[in-house]
Amino acid sequence: MSRIAPLSGFPEWLPAERVVEQQVLDTVRRVFELHGFASIETRAVEPLEQMLRKGEIDKEVYVLRRLHAESDEADAGLGLHFDLTVPFARYVLQNAGHLEFPFRRYQIQKVWRGERPQEGRFREFTQADIDVIGRDTLAFHHEVEVALVMAEVFRALPCPPAVILVNNRKLAEGFFLGAGATDAAAALRAIDKLDKIGPEKVAALLESDAGLTAEGAQKCLALAGIRSADVSFVAQVRALGVEHELLTEGLDELAAVIAAASARMPGAVVADLKIARGLDYYTGTVYETQLVGYESFGSVCSGGRYDSLASDGRTTYPGVGISLGVSRLLSVLIGRGLVTASRSVPTAVLVAVSDDDARGTSEDVAAALRARGISTEVAPSAAKFGKQIRHADRRGIPFVWFVSDDGTHSVKDIRSGDQVDADPTSWTPPAEDLVPVVALAQNEESTS
Q: Which residue has the higher pLDDT, 70 or 327?
A: 327
Asked if 307 and 372 sit in the same domain, the reply is no
Pairing, β 269-272 against β 162-168:
parallel
Question: Which of 51-65, 144-158, 310-324, 394-408 bottoms out in mean pLDDT, i.e. has the lowest?
Answer: 51-65
Q: What is the mean pLDDT of the chain?
A: 93
pLDDT, tens digit, 9 for 90 and up, residues 267-312: 999 999 999 876 678 899 999 999 999 999 999 999 999 998 888 8
The answer to whether 31 touches 149, Cβ cutoff 8 Å, is yes
pLDDT of 320: 97
Among 296, 323, 340, which residue terminates a domain? 340
pTM for this model (two decimals): 0.91
pLDDT of 338: 96
Structural domain boundaries enclosing 303 = 15-340
Among 320, 340, 360, which residue terminates a domain? 340
Q: Does a structural domain hold residue 161?
A: yes
- Torsion angle of C-alpha atoms 391, 395, 401, 402, degrees rounded to 10: 0
The answer to whether 375 touches 383, Cβ cutoff 8 Å, is no
Asked if 99 and 176 sit in the same domain, the reply is yes
pLDDT of 60: 86
Q: Does a structural domain hold residue 7?
A: no
pLDDT, tens digit, 9 for 90 and up, residues 54-113: 555 667 899 888 877 776 665 568 999 999 998 999 999 999 999 999 999 999 999 999
Percentages (nearest 5) of helix, strand, coil residues in the chain: 40, 20, 40
CA distance 175 to 331: 36
Mean pLDDT score, 366-386: 97
Question: Which of 117-121, 243-247, 257-261, 284-288 bottoms out in mean pLDDT, i.e. has the lowest?
Answer: 117-121
| pLDDT reading at 367 higher than 90 | yes
Asked if 383 and 326 sit in the same domain, the reply is no
Asked if 82 and 179 sit in the same domain, the reply is yes
Among 284, 314, 340, which residue terminates a domain? 340
Asked if 268 and 402 sit in the same domain, the reply is no
CA distance 332 to 327: 9
Q: Does a structural domain hold residue 332?
A: yes
Q: Does a structural domain hold residue 117?
A: yes
Question: Which of 194-203, 388-397, 436-445 bottoms out in mean pLDDT, i.e. has the lowest?
Answer: 436-445
Asked if 253 and 305 sit in the same domain, the reply is yes
pLDDT of 53: 65
Asked if 165 and 82 sit in the same domain, the reply is yes
CA distance 258 to 167: 10
Count how many domains the chain has: 2
Q: How far is CA 175 from the centre of its chain?
A: 31
Q: How far is CA 37 from CA 33, 40, 142, in A?
A: 5, 10, 13
Q: Does a structural domain hold residue 1?
A: no
Q: Please list the residues that pair with 337 across neighbouring strands.
A: none
CA angle, residues 303, 192, 238, in degrees to nearest 5: 90
Residues 354-367: b if buried by 16+ CB within 10 A, e if exposed: beeeebeebeebbe
Residue 280 DSSP symbol: T
The answer to whether 151 touches 268, Cβ cutoff 8 Å, is yes
Question: Which of 45-59, 173-187, 227-241 bottoms out in mean pLDDT, i.e. has the lowest?
Answer: 45-59
Q: Does a structural domain hold residue 446?
A: no
Q: How far is CA 376 from CA 276, 405, 420, 426, 440, in A?
A: 50, 21, 18, 15, 26
pLDDT of 447: 53
pLDDT, tens digit, 9 for 90 and up, residues 11-30: 999 999 999 999 999 999 99
Residue 317 DSSP symbol: -
Asked if 269 and 359 sit in the same domain, the reply is no
Asked if 145 and 215 sit in the same domain, the reply is yes
pLDDT of 204: 95
Asked if 200 and 132 sit in the same domain, the reply is yes
The answer to whether 64 touches 78, Cβ cutoff 8 Å, is yes
pLDDT of 52: 76
Pick from 414, 290, 280: nearest CA to 352: 414
Q: Does a structural domain hold residue 445?
A: no
pLDDT of 75: 58
CA distance 123 to 83: 12
CATH of the domain at 389: 3.40.50.800
Residue 99 DSSP symbol: -
CATH of the domain at 167: 3.30.930.10
Q: Does a structural domain hold residue 52?
A: yes
Asked if 294 and 378 sit in the same domain, the reply is no
pLDDT of 118: 87
User: Can you list the positions of beta strands (E) in 333-386?
Assistant: 339-341, 349-351, 376-378
Pick from 122, 438, 165: nearest CA to 291: 165
Pairing, β 438-440 against β 339-341:
antiparallel
| pLDDT reading at 355 higher than 80 | yes
pLDDT, tens digit, 9 for 90 and up, residues 138-173: 999 999 999 999 999 999 999 999 999 999 999 999
Pick from 324, 290, 293, 8: nearest CA to 150: 324
Asked if 306 and 368 sit in the same domain, the reply is no
